Chain A
Amino acid sequence: MKVKSAFFFVLLCLALIISSSSCFAQVSTSSDLLNNAKQYDGKTVNYKGEIIGDVMIRGDHAWLHVNDGSIAIGIWAPKTMIQDIGYVGDYHKKGDTVEVSGTFHRSCSEHGGDLDIHASEIKKITSGSSVIQPISRKKVYIGTFSLILVLLFYALKKFFQSRGDTSRI
């Protein structure tokens, strides 16, 4: 009986640990954060997404923006925390995907009321990459063909105008 009770007790403890750790690691979406900003204000949140735009260094900190596929939120992080960042997303690159853990501010008193997250940890989930976009042959053909067509049309117009033959038009 004692063994059974001890077994159930251990199971219960394990369940509690697993559930509490999954609560901590629960990732909030931008829509969650913006729609429930008051509830999240000042709380520690986990937010995951792609780094986009520019990393703006300000003294010993930096601003970066993490887009979770819907909205980009500003992250204020110490410079030491962003050294691992290799790619920042734009037209030419897919940015690193990171998970940010930090304090969410609905209206940050340190940053003029901006909605932001002050990062306490930034974990790189996947590394970004350069996006190679080969020149589209189809676009080259259509572009060249349409340009020739326009030039021919212009020449034709000039030709008829120089002959003063407007009856054909």
Chain B
Amino acid sequence: MAFFLTLLCARFVPAGGAGVCAILGIMVALIYAGADLITFAVQPLTAKILCGWIAGALIQFTVAGAIVGAVYKTDSRTTT
């Protein structure tokens, strides 16, 4: 998942930037939230677990996106 998020940030925001990658992280978390809702409908889970998963995914991917955006920068050096 970390590999995927880094790949996505590199493709999505080549210049990096914590804020933009955090927003991307939120969008990815929405996909996980959707999958969690489906899991809740078919498996005997409580609503409390569902809320925990969704909140956890939002925090996890927002922070992870911000970290990737802050650390990752494209190599802008040019050779002559």
- Same complex for A and B? Answer no
B contact set with A: CB distance below 8 Å: none
